[in-house]
Amino acid sequence: MDKIVIKGGQALHGEVQASGAKNAALPILASALLADGTSTYRNVPDLADVATMLKVLRTMGCDAERNTETSDVCQVGVNGHITPEAPYELVKTMRASVLVLGPLVARFGRARVSMPGGCAIGARPIDQHLKGLKALGADIHLTEGYVEAQAKQLKGGTVNFDVITVTGTENVMMAAVLAKGRTVMENCAREPEVEELAKVLNKMGARIEGAGTSIITIQGVDGLKPVEHAILPDRIEAGTLLVAAAISGGDVLVKRVVPEHMDAMVEKLREAGCTLTAEGGGLRCKAPQRLEAVNITTTEHPGFPTDMQAQLMALMSVSQGTSVINENIFENRFMHVPELHRLGADITIQGHTAVVKGVKGLSGAPVMATDLRASASLILAGLRAEGRTDVSRVYHLDRGYERLERKLSGLGADIRREKA
């Protein structure tokens, strides 16, 4: 298992480019199942989770590959015989594999997909995914830890989500595009990645309206065709890089971002005293002399994203004053707190709330990553901490960040990856 070693204290300067969005690439790769032929995707980030999704598709009989080791182009060929199954061994490593469920039922009339099980940050049930598929006429059985879904022909219907769910919205949307008739989905997730998936599906011949709002209507069509598409930039990676500038006292231009996808996090960085300006298709973050504590409440998009909570907590740990952080999306997304304590942070957890008292400085220490965004939070804190910080178990980081340590060292950070 690798570890990341950081010597803190370097202010970051320069330019860096955001990679393609993990949380758009995963549903979009799964959507290739809806068409016969080969779809080509550009700007696909080189991440462990993307590699897992490609493996899930290959396991079913698709030709699903990254063009070359270093290319950002992936192709998914869906021809001939597909075994509509996603095994536990793969799904347990990446719960977003469950995104093949909707396309498989819609296209092949059946699917056998392992229940994802919980993960470090929460139970993360998929009851809403199944509720939506049932509303479209799918027959769903749970046997031996697998979802068995059948439907000769899905029929349009009304789906009202009890909980706003990103992949739930995406799964049901991918099922509805081939259902007979009209589907209305209510209380949908409004994330940019949902909108991006709808854009890709419409390019394939689907008829989706309202993606990005809470009500999505879909007129089913008889078939879809393969697509060529470039994945939109990753707003969470971009936000993480902006925080790296802020926490290190630097001045960094993050290129290739969609600023309007980042309003909530940009607003919080400005509130904390940073200067953020749009520049050359990107966002520049200039750190203030003195970071101010701000309060954070995570909510569904367009609110403050839960995927940026751990990163902002690292920043707040060295800001002036006290910051109250409410995590409303996942029930166990404070696992970075005990590790930040090891670096000298002063944070108290009360249920879903963390109270962060800013301290003068942090001091480096060995810490352990527990989940994807916690890894990023510890690296950010390490950039600030005096001395050396070793972040172990960075396989968590590699799930969702494309060579983050190289991007940071390109901005002047003293950071390297070591075989642990």
Tokens coding 337: 């707190």
H or E element, residue 65: strand 63-66
Cβ-based nearer residue to ligand EPZ, 12 or 96 = 96
Nearer CB in complex with ligand EPZ: 358/400: 400
Catalytic residue among 62, 74, 119, 274: 119
Radius of gyration of the chain (CA): 21
Interacting residues of 356 by C-beta distance below 8 A, sequence separation 6+: 293, 313, 316, 317, 319, 322, 323, 324, 325, 345, 346, 347
* Least separation in angstroms between CB 346 and ligand EPZ: 25
List contacts with ligand EPZ (CB under 6 A).
Answer: 22-23, 26, 96, 122-129, 163, 165-168, 189, 306-307, 329-330, 372-373, 400
Beta carbon nearer to ligand EPZ, 194 or 274: 194
List, in sequence order, every residue forming a beta bridge with 219; answer none if it has no partner.
182, 207
CA distance 177 to 166: 17
DSSP letter for 371, please: S
Residue 322: beta bridge partners? 357
**Min CB(167)–ligand EPZ separation in Å:** 3
Query: Least distance from C-beta 386 to ligand EPZ, angstroms?
Result: 29
119 is catalytic: yes
Range list of β-strands (E), 251-365: 251-255, 275-279, 282-286, 296-298, 322-327, 346-350, 353-357
**Judging by DSSP bridges, how do beta strands 251-255 and 282-286 pair with one another?**
antiparallel
Q: Which residues pair with 3 in a beta bridge?
A: 392, 418
Q: How far is the CB of 94 from ligand EPZ (least distance, A)?
A: 9
Q: How far is the CB of 328 from ligand EPZ (least distance, A)?
A: 9
Which is closer to ligand EPZ, CB of 123 or CB of 278? Answer: 123
Q: How far is CA 79 from the centre of its chain?
A: 29
Query: Residues 298, 18, 74, 28: what is their CA dihedral angle, to the nearest 10 degrees?
Result: 30
Residues 6+ apart with CB under 8 A from 322: 293, 355, 356, 357, 358
* Residue in this structure with the two tokens 């983050």, named with its chain if needed: 404
**Nearer CB in complex with ligand EPZ: 43/167:** 167
- Shortest distance in whole angstroms from residue 280 CB to ligand EPZ: 27
- Please state the closest distance from residue 414 (CB atom) to ligand EPZ, in A: 26
Q: Which is nearer to ligand EPZ, 122 or 281 (CB)?
A: 122
Of 26 and 201, which CB lies nearer to ligand EPZ in the complex structure? 26
Q: 121 exposed, middle or buried (CB, 10 Å; 0-12, 13-18, 19+)?
A: buried
Q: Which residues are catalytic?
A: 119
